Chains A and B, each alone.
Chain A
Amino acid sequence: MNTVGQLLLHPHELKDVIQYKLYHERLHPWDLENEPEDVQECYKLLKMTSRSFVRVIEDLNPELRKAIMIFYLVLRALDTIEDDMTIPNEVKVPILNEFYTYLDRDEYHFDGNGPNEKDRLVLVEFNYILREYKKLKKPYQALIQSNCQKMGEGMAKYCEDKQFNSEGIKTLAQYDEYCYYVAAIVGVGLTEIMLEADFINPAIKEHPELVDSMGKFLQKTNIIRDYREDLEDGRVFWPSDIWAKYTKNNDISEFTKPDMIQNALYCNSELVCDALRHAPDCLLYLTCVKDQSLFDFCAIPQVMAIATLELIFRNPEMFKRNVKIRKGTAVSLIYRARSVRSVCEIFLEYAQRIHERVTSDDPNYLAIEIAYGKIQQTVESIFPSQLPVEGKVVSTAGMSYQQIQTLKKRGPNAKNQEQPSKSELVNLYAAFGLSFLLIFGSLTLAAWMMGARFDLVWGDISKMII
Chain B
Amino acid sequence: MKVLIFGGAGFLGKHLQREFTNKGWTVSIADVTSGDVIVDLLDAENVKQAVLDVSPDVIVHCASPPAEHKNEKLFYAVNVDGTKNVAEAARAPSVKAFVYTSSASVVFNGADLINANEDYPIANPPFDSYTDSKAKGEAAALAADEWVPTCAIRPAGIFGEHDRQVIPGMLQVMERGQTRFQIGSNNNLFDYTYAGNVAYAHILAAEALMEQERSKLARGQAFFITNMSPIPFFAMPRAIWAHCGHTPSSIIKIPKDLGIIIGGISEIVSYFTGREPGLNRFRIKFSCAVRYYSCAKAQAILGYTPKYTLEEGIKRSLAWLDETKKEK
Bound together: yes
- Chain A interface residues toward B at CB < 8 A: 352, 355, 359-361, 365-367, 369-370, 372-374, 376-377, 380-381, 384-386, 388, 391-393, 411-413
Chain B residues lying within 8 Å of A370, measured Cβ to Cβ, are 229, 231, 310
Are B114 and A386 neighbours in the complex by a CB distance under 8 Å? yes
Query: What is the CA–CA distance of A360 and B180 in the complex, to the nearest angstrom?
Result: 12
From B111, B120, B229, B248, A388 is in contact (CB under 8 Å) with B120
What's the A-B contact tally at a CB cutoff of 8 Å?
71
Return chain B residues, CB-CB under 8 Å to A359. 247
Kindly provide the distance from the CB of A94 to the nearest chain B CB, expressed in whole angstroms.
Answer: 45
Contact between A376 and B235, CB atoms less than 8 A apart: no
B268 to chain A, nearest CB (A): 33
Total number of B residues with any Cβ neighbor in A under 8 Å:
27
Chain B contacts for A372, CB-based, 8 A: 231-232
Bound complex: CA A367 to CA B231 (Å): 10
Return the CB mask of B13-45 against A: 1 if under 8 Å, else 0. Answer: 000000000000000000000000000000000
Question: In the complex, are the beta carbons of A365 and B189 less than 8 A apart?
Answer: no
Q: Could you tell me if A360 and B114 are in contact, using CB atoms closer than 8 angstroms?
A: no
Q: Beyond A360-B248, A384-B114, is A393–B189 a contact (Cβ under 8 Å)?
A: no
Closest to A366 in B: B239
Known: A355-B187, A365-B239. 15 other contacts (CB 8 A): A359-B247, A360-B238, A360-B241, A361-B247, A365-B242, A366-B231, A366-B235, A370-B231, A372-B231, A373-B229, A373-B231, A376-B230, A377-B230, A384-B114, A388-B121
A355 touches B189 (CB 8 A): no
B113-133 interface code vs A (CB 8 A; 1 in, 0 out): 011110111000000000000
Q: Mark B169-194, 1 if CB is under 8 A from A, else 0.
A: 00000000000000000010100000
Q: B115 and A369: CB pair below 8 A?
A: no
Residues of B within 8 A of A352 (CB): 187
CA distance A370 to B114 in the complex (A): 16
Q: In the complex, which of the residues B111, B229, B230, B239 contacts A393, with contact meaning CB atoms closer than 8 Å?
A: B111
In the complex, A393 Cα to B121 Cα: how many Å? 8
Instruction: Give the contacting residue for A377; candidates B115, B232, B239, B242; CB below 8 A.
Output: B115
Instruction: Tell me, yes or no, whether B200 is within 8 Å of chain A by CB.
Output: no
Confirm or deny: B72 has a beta carbon within 8 angstroms of a beta carbon on chain A: no
Cβ B121 vs Cβ A369 within 8 A: no
Give CA–CA (A355, B230) in the complex, Å: 13
- Chain B contact residues: over half helix, strand or loop, or mixed? mixed
Q: Which residue of B lies closest to A355 (CB)?
A: B232
Chain A residues with Cβ below 8 Å from B247 are 359-361
Please, how many angstroms separate the alpha-carbon atoms of A369 and B236 in the complex?
A: 9
Please name all residues of chain A whose beta carbon is closer than 8 Å to the beta carbon of B117 when the two chains form the complex. 388
Q: Please, could you name 8 A-B residue pairs with CB atoms under 8 Å apart, sorted by A?
A: A355-B232, A366-B235, A366-B239, A370-B231, A377-B115, A377-B230, A393-B120, A411-B119
Tell me, in angstroms, the Cα distance from A355 to B251 when the chains sit together: 14
0/1 string, B229-273, CB within 8 A of A gives 1: 111100100110110000110000000000000000000000000
Chain B residue at minimum C-beta to C-beta distance from A413 = B119
Give the complex CA separation of A376 and B189 in angstroms: 8
Instruction: Give the CA-CA distance A374 to B227 in the complex, in Å.
Output: 12
B residues adjacent to A (C-beta < 8 A): 111-112, 114-117, 119-121, 187, 189, 229-232, 235, 238-239, 241-242, 247-248, 292, 294, 310-311, 314
A441–chain B nearest beta-carbon distance, Å: 52
C-alpha gap A370/B194 in the complex (Å): 14
State the Cβ distance, A108 to closest chain B Cβ, in Å: 49
Complex interface: chain A residues within 8 A of B114 (CB): 380, 384-386
**Which of B112, B119, B231, B314 touches A369 (beta carbons < 8 Å)?**
B231
A275–B292 Cα distance when bound, in Å, is: 24
CB-based contact A366/B310 at 8 Å: yes
Residues from chain B with a CB closer than 8 A to the CB of A393 are 111, 116, 120-121
B139 to chain A, nearest CB (A): 15
Minimal beta-carbon separation of B79 from chain A (angstroms):
23
Given A373-B230, A377-B189, is A392 in contact with B310 using a C-beta cutoff of 8 Å? Answer: no
Residue of B nearest to A348 (CB): B187
C-alpha spacing A170/B311, complex, angstroms: 24
A376 to B112, CA, bound (A): 15
Complex Cα gap A376–B191 (Å): 13
Q: How far is the CB of B116 from chain A (nearest CB, A)?
A: 8
Among A366, A377, A391, find the residue whose CB has the most chain B CB atoms closer than 10 A.
Answer: A366
Q: Which of B112, B241, B248 contacts A386 (CB 8 A)?
A: B112
Residue numbers in B under 8 Å from A388 (CB-CB): 117, 119-121
CB pair B115–A360 under 8 Å, yes or no, is no
* In the bound complex, CA of A361 to CA of B247 (Å): 6
Q: Which residues of B contact A373 (CB under 8 A)?
A: 189, 229-232, 292
Q: A392: which B residues are within 8 A, CB to CB?
A: 121
A-B pairs, top 9 by smallest CB distance, nearest first, are: A412-B119, A360-B238, A369-B235, A361-B247, A380-B115, A366-B239, A388-B119, A370-B229, A360-B242
- Bound Cα distance A377, B226 (Å): 13
In the bound assembly, the distance between CA atoms of A359 and B238 in angstroms comes to 9
Please measure, in the bound complex, the distance between the C-alpha atom of A352 and the C-alpha atom of B231, giving whole angstroms: 12
| Beta-carbon nearest neighbor of B293 in chain A | A377
Contact residues in B for A385 (Cβ distance below 8 Å): 114
Chain A residues with CB under 8 A of B112: 386
- Which of A370, A386, A392: most chain B CB closer than 10 A? A370
A68 to B189, CA, bound (A): 41
| Chain A neighbourhood of B248, CB < 8 A | 360
Complex-state Cα separation, A366 to B189, whole angstroms: 13
Instruction: Report A374 CB to chain B, min CB distance, Å.
Output: 7
Q: What residue in chain A is nearest B250 (Cβ atoms)?
A: A359
B235 A391 Cβ-Cβ under 8 A: no
Q: Most chain-A CB neighbours within 10 Å: which of B112, B119, B314?
A: B119
Contacts of A369 in B (CB 8 A): 231-232, 235, 239
Contacts of A384 in B (CB 8 A): 114-115
A373 CA to B291 CA, complexed, in Å: 12
Which residue of A is nearest B120, CB measured? A388
**How far is it, in angstroms, between the C-alpha of A381 and the C-alpha of B117 when the chains are bound?**
11
Nearest CB of A to B270, in Å: 30
Q: Please give the distance in Å from A384's CB to the nearest CB on chain B.
A: 7
B120: A residues at CB distance < 8 A: 388, 393, 412
Nearest CB in chain A: distance from B158 CB, A: 18
**Is the CB–CB distance between B229 and A374 below 8 Å?**
yes
Closest chain A CB from B172 CB (angstroms): 17
